[in-house]
Amino acid sequence: MNNVRDIIESELNKVSLFKSKEKLYPEYLPSYLPHREKELKSLASIFKSLLLNPGALSHRVFIVGGIGTGKTVTARIFGKEFTQLAKKRGLNVGYVHINCHRDRTLFEVISELVRQLGLPVPQRGLSSRELLNYTLEMLEDNDLYAIVTLDEFDYFINIAGNDAVYFLARIYDEFPEKVKRLNFIFVSKSLTALSTLDPTTESYLMKNLIMFSPYKSYELFDILKSRAEEAVFEEAVSDDVLKYIADTVGIDKGGPGNARAALEILLISCEIAEKEGCMRVLLDHVRQACSIVEPNSVILHDILPYLSLHELLVLRSIVLTLKRSDEPYVNTSVVEDMYRKLCEDYNIEPRKHTKFYEYIVNLKKLGIIMTSTSLKGRRGRSTYISISIAPLNVIDAKIDELLGIKLRYEGSS
């Protein structure tokens, strides 16, 4: 009978498919970012004047896209490369990346900014405004500029509120005498988060908008191919396997278009093959991985919690209408009637038709629903809606849970 050391040693001595496993992890920053060249060019164009005329303007960009569309990795790579290019030109630019899911308040955001830049700013006993004023003075003393990415910014909007967002977006209205050394990239899953802000703040944030669309299957194939070449040994993963994963997840093939899910399927497929002692990933390994990483489950657990109260009510209206009709698609007008009834049941003022339709458009952009303007056997031109991300009962249960949380939170605020 093998002792513990023999068991561990035999496992350690197994030949691995991986040459650099961490390069399939979500936090890895690749040197090549397929199919986000246009977005990188947009960022470079907006921030170009920071190099040409530093301090003249405070730049702000609003990035919007669903989960796994490359928003975070694009912002991080841009920040890394831009700061290095600035340094070559003799300009001291720091890059700061803050996750607003963790740092939820204005004070926490400014404190994290100070920490990442390594500024000697006293943080105890100061208000947010005082802390920021000290920060701006330290940037001046060190001749430092900064690009600050606020990731999960929709979460900050919901928690910190309009005044905090306005303060960040219009910092140099508060400190007009300061050289404009702070620049911002706001990253959000949805544009509808902005609807809770006052029109002036919303309009200001929307001046430089970059949209990230879900990935198509051919785009995911290129991403998987590029990452597989870095992460696993040659011929461990065939193009057929990569295409199968890409087709499973691609937005044009009915998937969510989520690169994060595609990479996780590839990672787990390799782990399953390695565990079985197989030095080549087979389609059966991918099918096993897909059963573990259901791409659409990302929507349920990572996207639905960030929907606004009325988006959740619209989504529940779609679910209930589909359940009652027992048809694959339902007419938007029927869904809107159900939405108004639900609002009445919850004692909530329903939004007007234009806003309702905005919610429908956003739910589609996020990959939660599908729409069609014509159906076989139906006369006229109407918009029809369907859902394929999960069984309707599963979606409804999740919405019910989230509505309970949001209604309690809004009722206590």
Spans of all domains in the chain: 12-22+215-295, 37-212, 301-412
CATH 1.10.8.60 fits 12-22+215-295, yes or no: yes
Residue 381 CA to chain centroid, in angstroms? 33
pLDDT at 16: 84
Neighbours of 259 (CB within 10 A): 26
Residues 6+ apart with CB under 8 A from 292: 268
Annotate the chain with three-state secondary structure.
CCCHHHHHHHHHCCCCCECCHHHHCCCCCCCCCCCCHHHHHHHHHHHHHHHHCCCCCCCEEEEEECCCCCHHHHHHHHHHHHHHHHHHCCCCEEEEEEECCCCCCHHHHHHHHHHHHCCCCCCCCCCHHHHHHHHHHHHHHCCCEEEEEEECHHHHHHHHCHHHHHHHHCHHHHCCCCCCCEEEEEEECCCHHHHHCCHHHHHHHCCCEEEECCCCHHHHHHHHHHHHHHHECCCCCCHHHHHHHHHHHCHHHCCCCCHHHHHHHHHHHHHHHHHCCCCCCCHHHHHHHHHHCCCCHHHHHHHHHHCCHHHHHHHHHHHHHHHHHCCCCEEHHHHHHHHHHHHHHCCCCCCCHHHHHHHHHHHHHCCCCEEECCCCCCCCCCCEEECCCCCHHHHHHHHHHHHHHHHHHHHHC
Candidates 80, 59, 68, 62; CA nearest to 36 is 68
Which strand ranges, in their side-by-side order, compose the sheet holding 384-386?
Answer: 330-331, 384-386, 370-372
Q: What is the CATH number of domain 37-212?
A: 3.40.50.300
Provide the residue type at 282 as one letter. Answer: L
Over its length of 413 residues, how does the chain's per-residue pLDDT go in tens digits? 567 876 676 666 666 888 999 999 988 999 889 999 999 999 999 999 999 999 999 999 999 998 899 999 999 999 999 999 999 999 999 999 999 988 888 999 999 999 999 988 776 778 888 898 889 999 999 999 999 999 999 889 888 888 999 888 888 887 788 899 999 999 998 887 787 888 888 888 888 999 999 999 999 999 999 999 999 998 899 999 999 899 989 998 888 899 999 999 999 999 999 988 888 999 889 888 887 776 566 666 777 888 889 999 999 999 999 889 877 788 999 999 999 999 999 999 999 999 999 999 888 877 788 787 765 555 556 788 887 666 688 788 889 989 988 887 664 44
33 CB burial (10 A radius; 0-12, 13-18, 19+) = middle
Distances (CA, A) of 391 to 101, 297, 363, 403: 28, 11, 17, 18
Which strand ranges, in their side-by-side order, compose the sheet holding 182-188?
Answer: 93-99, 145-151, 182-188, 60-65, 209-212
CB 321 within 8 A of CB 338: yes
Candidates 248, 245, 266, 264; CA nearest to 256 is 248
pLDDT at 3: 76
Rounded distance, CA 128 to CA 125, Å?
A: 10
CA end-to-end span of the chain: 63
Q: What is the CATH number of domain 301-412?
A: 1.10.10.10
CB 119 within 8 A of CB 68: no
Tokens of 164: 């905090």
Q: Virtual CA dihedral for 366, 299, 245, 42, nearest 10 degrees?
A: 40
**Planar angle of CA 310, 150, 73, nearest 5 degrees:** 100
Provide the residue type at 252 as one letter. Answer: D
Rounded distance, CA 132 to CA 243, Å?
A: 49
* Total number of residues shown for the chain: 413
* Entry pTM: 0.72
Candidates 298, 321, 313; CA nearest to 400 is 313
pLDDT at 381: 64
Tokens of 96: 């700061």
Distances (CA, A) of 162 to 138, 240, 300: 27, 49, 27
Rounded distance, CA 129 to CA 95, Å?
A: 21
